Amino acid sequence: MAHSAKAFLGPVIHSLSTSNLELLPCALLVVNSEGKIASFLRNVDPHQAQDTLRALNFSPDLVTIHRLGPGQFLIPGFVDTHNHAPQWAQRGLGQGMHILDWLDAITFPNEARFRDPDYARRIYASCVDGFLRQGITTASYYGSIHGEATKILADLCLEKGQRALVGKCNMTRNAPEYYRDASVEESLRVTEECITHIRSLDPAGKLVQHVLTPRFAISCDAETLQGLGNIARNNPDLPIQTHFNEAEQEMTATMELFPQFTNEADLYEHYGLLGKRSILAHCCYMSEYEMKRLKTLGCGVAHCPISNMTVGGGFMAAPIRDFMRRGIKVGLGTDSGGGFSSSILDAMRQAMIASHAREVTSKGQDKGLSIDEVFHLATLGGAQVCGLDDKIGSFDVGKEFDAALVGTRGGEQGIMTIVEQDDSLKTVFEKFVMTGDDRNIVEVYVQGRRVKGN
Ligand code: GUN
Ligand code: FE
């Protein structure tokens, strides 16, 4: 979709790596009509913006300059590497339950409702709007088992302008009859149908892609996993997502179902589901062996610090520092509805809290995460996990412009952040991360298109 070129002038904050947060008090960022970053000047004189544009060969008449207001700054859009769209209406239910009990009692009855396309359309529209409102410009969604509802979710992401991975969820066993694929063949057939639909919607795969989504090995027969592995092999563009070493109850049940394996890494690798495109949610309990396999195979971790502590029975601070030390890709997932919140800011804060607990239980070996580090997980780290870091996650020239314009002043708009005149940009940023919410997200852009704000 073509838009007119636009230039943003003012403070810009983005992550270049886990240890390098760039804070620029006055940058000029030019977005071209295709929604790509055409130019990024890190330090400009605000009074010379027109001349600077001219020097870059942009005609100031054709470029609208958006001057950021006091207390505002630009950040890359947030990436939610793991959430369940059909759990949107059940967020917050079943706190403290163990995973298999929670799935049976709360989740399967809710997800089964998505057999009704009208219900799916209503809840999914609210879900996509809800994520965009929080500045989540990219989401990796688990759908329900239903083909039609999954296509509706993909349609809505494209229509509303959210970048997304959307997956038809595969479940062929260990689920109630009312919420289970009719057969392995049917499960794979509907998956192929969704892949074809999403490709036809968005042929260049620019905004929405299908993601292969075996829920977890417990709900998939070996033939289902093998069939999905075959689809993955034949379609090297498709990402893959599943739940991995989330909780003891889940890990024990998995090993009972697949006694030929001694760990989940070997299991999923055997079926062709582990590689650079794999997004593994939770990874709470990791042996040295599995850590090494994830690193060697290039898998990404979707860290879900809220649900890890509230639903599922992991109740565990995952070894994020250890993943980072080994160079394993890590991003953040809201895992809503297991996670009660669909806010990445909440996930960032909980990631810090969990990491501080981990620092104590690891006797200081796994140092807690800093604000800069959790911001990296929520932006560039998430983009890496989703295989999108060549396109998004930071403001490099040539990347697509997915961004949130953050406001930190405006008590009358209900903004809770309290900034003072002499606060440095770093201080304002930290106050936003620790006390902000969706009211601070003034405008949101995906591929240069404004999807929130006016
Ligand atoms: N494992 C399998 N399905 C789910 C789910 O919906 N949520 C969580 N947290 N874990 C799962
Ligand atoms: Fe999940």
SS (H, E, C) 156-181: HHHHHCCEEEEECEECCCCCCHHHCC
Indicate where the chain has its CATH 2.30.40.10 domain(s): 6-76+395-452
Binding site membership of 338 for ligand 1 (Cβ less than 6 Å): yes
Instruction: Assess whether pLDDT exceeds 70 at residue 75.
Output: yes
**Arithmetic mean of pLDDT, 233-246:** 97
Distance from the CA of 404 to the center of ligand 1, in angstroms?
A: 29
- Whether 238 and 212 have beta carbons less than 8 Å apart is answered as yes
Residue type, 190: V
3-state helix, strand, coil in the chain (%, to 5): 40, 20, 35
Ligand 1 atom having least distance to the Cα of 87: 6
Question: What pLDDT sits at residue 3?
Answer: 63
Phi and psi torsions of 206, nearest 5°: -70, -40
CA atoms of 119 and 10, how far apart (whole Å): 43
Farthest CA pair distance, the chain? 69
Over residues 148-177, the mean pLDDT reads 98
Q: Which two tokens stand for residue 265?
A: 């890494």
Given this model, what pLDDT does residue 195 score?
Answer: 97
Mean pLDDT of 313-342: 94
Contact 261, 267 (CB under 8 A): yes
Please choose from 83, 84, 95 the residue to mutate so as to test ligand 1's pocket, defined by most ligand atoms within 8 A of CB.
84
Nearest atom in ligand 1 to the alpha carbon of residue 335 is 9
* Torsion sign, CA atoms 364, 284, 391, 400: negative
pLDDT above 70: percentage of residues in the chain: 99
* Residue 223 CA to ligand 2 centre (angstroms): 22
- For the stretch 89-138, pLDDT in tens is 999 999 999 999 999 999 999 999 999 999 999 999 999 999 999 999 99
337 C-alpha vs ligand 2 centroid, how far in Å? 8
> 103, 213, 315: which to mutate for ligand 1, most atoms within 8 A of CB?
103
Per DSSP, helices labelled H in 114-236 are 117-133, 147-160, 184-201, 222-234
Domain 6-76+395-452 -> CATH class:
mainly beta
Closest CA to 385 of 166, 139, 185: 139
Nearest residue (CA) to ligand 1, atom 1: 243
At 1 the pLDDT is: 47
Instruction: Return the CATH number of 78-385, one of 3.40.190.10, 3.40.640.10, 3.20.20.140, 3.90.1150.10.
Output: 3.20.20.140
Ligand 1 contact via 94 beta carbon (within 6 Å):
no
Strands 136-142 vs 449-452: parallel, antiparallel or unpaired: unpaired
What interface predicted TM-score (ipTM) does this complex get?
0.99
- Which ligand 1 atom sits closest to the C-alpha of 312? 9
The CB of 312 under 6 Å from ligand 1? The reply is yes
Tell me how many degrees the CA angle 214-386-377 measures, rounded to the nearest 5: 120
The single residue listed with the structure tokens 């207001």 is: 69
Of the residues 88, 216, 244, which should be mutated to test ligand 1's pocket, given the most ligand atoms within 8 Å of the CB? 216
CA–centroid distance, 84 to ligand 2, in Å, is 6
Angle between helices 184-201 and 222-234 (to 10 degrees): 30
Confidence of residue 61 (pLDDT cuts 50, 70, 90): confident
Q: Which atom of ligand 1 is nearest to the CA of 304?
A: 9
Burial class (CB in 10 A: 0-12, 13-18, 19+), 454: exposed
Q: Whose CA is nearest to atom 11 of ligand 1?
A: 243
User: What pLDDT score does 206 carry?
Assistant: 85
Ligand 1 within 6 A of CB of 214: no
Confidence of residue 353 (pLDDT cuts 50, 70, 90): very high
Give the tens place of pLDDT for each residue, 183-233: 999 999 999 999 999 999 988 768 999 999 999 999 999 999 999 999 999
Decide whether any atom of ligand 1 lies within 6 Å of the 216 Cβ: yes
Distance from C-alpha of 381 to C-alpha of 301, rounded to nearest angstrom: 10
The answer to whether residue 346 scores a pLDDT higher than 90 is yes
pLDDT in tens, 6-43: 999 999 999 999 999 999 999 999 999 999 999 999 99
- Candidate from 150-154, 366-370, 411-415 with smallest mean pLDDT: 411-415
Q: How far is the CA of 377 from the centre of ligand 1 (A)?
A: 21
* Inter-axis angle of helices 425-435 and 344-361, nearest 10: 90
Mean pLDDT of 418-446: 97
- Find the radius of gyration of the CA atoms of the chain: 22
- Collapse the DSSP code of 142 into the 3-class scheme (helix H, G, I; strand E, B; otherwise coil) and give the result: strand
**Range(s) of the chain covered by CATH 3.20.20.140:** 78-385
Mean pLDDT throughout 271-293? 98
Give the tens place of pLDDT for each residue, 355-380: 999 999 999 999 999 999 999 999 99
In 258-369, which ranges are continuous DSSP H helix?
264-270, 288-297, 307-310, 320-326, 344-361
Ligand nearest to the CA of 306: 1
Residue nearest to ligand 1 atom 3, measured at CA: 215
Residue of 99, 140, 279 to test ligand 1 pocket, by largest number of atoms within 8 Å of CB: 99
The span from the CA of 400 to the CA of 391, in Å, is 6
